[in-house]
Structure 1
């Protein structure tokens, strides 16, 4: 190899090395700036660790599923037929903490047949949903119903991420988005569906949080060995105490807003049906408080306990826990403490027990 060739090789190596070094320095500089721009910790109130709640406490803590302020971010994915907002504005009454909200925005009123088909397809997803339309003349959002007429230029559809049936799954969310996009396609409208992967992740996290606080407190009234309570006497005493027998075969004790505070159910499998209660007898009944669905739980628990004691005395039975052990003040105090802890956890995570959000999640 000649001296000229060796010199050229050395010069070439130096040039290549210089270019590589320059690119490496630029990449480090870019990464450092990028890290500084995005290295911000975000504190999600909903994901803070709250008080731990035991799965069972005597007399009875039965597992059954806050809303959490879990946000479902919007992305460009799924936007069709023109540009649309990254996160569609929710209609009044929608809750973006627990709802996956999609939008259909048109210039002209959307045909009634298209809306009917959309609602049918959304209902088939298998999760609770809400729908609203922006009325042409009034400019107000209205609940969307069938046979509404071609009066809406904009629609908002919300699929609930979690209920007691569990979190929304990929197939349900895909079906929902397909229905929304199909509606937009048939009405020459634009559509916006937020990032489904982010929504599924949020749903799983929210479901886990709900499971931590989904507790029912039960108190049993049992008859003496070999004895039984007549159904007619149970009904008379329950109604005198303020309960009402409802179609589900359970006595409900409701507040002035018609919300169930606690229930009285047959300790045996047979429900309390009006046509059968006259001939029914049972070895016991159960008072049950659905903790996340009730405001001011400790106060409601005390009221349920007072009624339970009165019923036990009138029926000639005993107030016991799920192991048929008589209740004592130590056990009752522990229940009150656990109940207060559960409600505090829910409040800290963005959902008050008995609130509208809680009633939707725990249904």
Structure 2
């Protein structure tokens, strides 16, 4: 091999290394730029330097133990993502339940910004800036599938060509930017490296299809944030349950009719006892997991469940469930017992409610107001 050939090979290797180094530097610069778009808010406990842990209010009560299942969060005042939209508009309040999953498509948008926004305390954001405006009709077929990465839901936000913030894409609008907001933690655990990589893969795919520039935070800070959020939520995640023993199987249709007559409403396969604000205080489900209207066999056992972080704060949260449970048991000629199969002791509801008040307060202090949209997202 001649000196000229060796020189050309060495020169080619150096050029390849230079290209790789430039790409790495450019990617790092873009990600750091994106991170600067999301400053923390000192008033939000979940974004502060210290995380609020706490004991389980009522978790140790033997008559109705709280079952720790995982994590949680939505804030009293979720905020708009910086530099995304024309104004700071109001957003869903802490006591409001998250709206049902709305379709990404709609016939037309309004002249106002949508209220629902990114929540930096519980979501990591990847933003795509389009080289030229893209019609919603073109985006919809490709973003419909970007609803989850692993076990973490993804919310889609967009900015119109005219600078309007959208919580869903309208087929007849054109958009200049898109945001993928990935939930950092829920009851399946914190966001994982694999889930974060999947989110980036989806973003890169959209970027290639629509000539967009993707920007987002680096992986390590995102995963650290996810683990901190998960730790906070795990310390406060509490559920309290009761059991209805019907003795012998009763027709599901009759059980459903009695429950609905008392005031329960359908919530998926379960029934829910709603608050005045339209948030489920507690739920009623068949022990076999089947829907009440499935028409499959009879019902022998049912469960009442108070999901504390997802229900609105109430001075008689458990006592109210006990009252409803006793009336339902009377109508069904059933026995109301705790998770150990024992009848409820007199005064146990008062003791548990006192403990739950402490938990409601801890959730509030941690930025996870019970029953809020943030709490219902992470405690899911």
TM-score (normalizing by structure 1): 0.71
- Match in the other structure for 1:200: 223
- Match in the other structure for 1:64: 69
**Aligned-partner SS, 1:199:** helix
Q: Does 1:244 align with 2:265?
A: yes
| Deviation digits for residues 2-45 of structure 1 (CA, Å, limit 9, x no counterpart) | xxxxxxxxxxxxxxxxxxxxxxxxxxxxxxxxxxxxxxxx9936
- Match in the other structure for 2:235: 212
Q: Which of 282, 288, 295 in structure 2 is aligned with 1:276?
A: 295
CA 1:276–1:112: 2 relative to 1, 3 Å:
closer
CA 1:175–1:270: 2 relative to 1, 3 Å:
closer
- Match in the other structure for 1:108: 132
Distance 2:194 2:212 in 1: 24
Distance 2:173 2:263 in 1: 47
Q: Which of 119, 123, 128 in structure 1 is aligned with 2:153?
A: 128
Query: CA offset at residue 141 of structure 1?
Result: 1.2
Distance 2:339 2:160 in 1: 54
**Aligned-partner SS, 1:252:** strand
Query: CA offset at residue 245 of structure 1?
Result: 4.4
Query: CA offset at residue 276 of structure 1?
Result: 2.0
**Aligned-partner SS, 1:110:** strand
Unmatched segments (≥5 aa) in structure 1:
1-41, 70-86
**Aligned-partner SS, 2:222:** helix
CA 1:215–1:191: 2 relative to 1, 3 Å:
same
Query: CA offset at residue 196 of structure 1?
Result: 1.5
| Deviation digits for residues 190-246 of structure 1 (CA, Å, limit 9, x no counterpart) | 33211221011111121122222222211223246xx55554543332122101345
- Match in the other structure for 1:314: 331
Distance 1:322 1:213 in 2: 20
CA 1:143–1:236: 2 relative to 1, 3 Å:
closer
**Aligned-partner SS, 1:289:** strand
Q: Which of 278, 281, 288 in structure 1 is aligned with 2:305?
A: 288
- 1:40-55, aligned counterparts within 5 Å? 44=48, 47-53=51-57, 55=59
- 1:138-157, aligned counterparts within 5 Å? 139-145=163-169, 148=171, 151-157=174-180
Computing the radius of gyration from Cα coordinates, the structure with the larger value is 1
Distance 2:166 2:361 in 1: 35
Q: Which of 1 and 2 has higher RCO (CA within 8 Å, sep 6+)?
A: 2
Q: Does 1:264 align with 2:281?
A: no
- Match in the other structure for 1:235: 256
CA 1:197–1:257: 2 relative to 1, 3 Å:
same
Query: CA offset at residue 170 of structure 1?
Result: 0.8
**Aligned-partner SS, 1:109:** strand
- Match in the other structure for 1:362: 379
CA 1:45–1:241: 2 relative to 1, 3 Å:
farther
Aligned length: 297
- Match in the other structure for 1:31: none
Query: CA offset at residue 60 of structure 1?
Result: 3.5
Q: Do the aligned partners of 1:136 and 1:152 also contact (CA within 8 Å) in 2?
A: yes
Distance 2:369 2:292 in 1: 33
TM-score (normalizing by structure 2): 0.68
Distance 1:327 1:304 in 2: 12
| Deviation digits for residues 319-361 of structure 1 (CA, Å, limit 9, x no counterpart) | 2211121111343233212321221111111110001101111
Query: CA offset at residue 155 of structure 1?
Result: 1.8
Distance 1:54 1:309 in 2: 20
Q: Do the aligned partners of 2:73 and 2:379 also contact (CA within 8 Å) in 1?
A: no
Query: CA offset at residue 106 of structure 1?
Result: 3.7
CA 1:115–1:245: 2 relative to 1, 3 Å:
closer
Superposed CA RMSD: 3.1
Q: Do the aligned partners of 1:68 and 1:206 also contact (CA within 8 Å) in 2?
A: no
Unmatched segments (≥5 aa) in structure 2:
1-42, 76-80, 86-115
Query: CA offset at residue 254 of structure 1?
Result: 2.3
- Match in the other structure for 1:326: 343
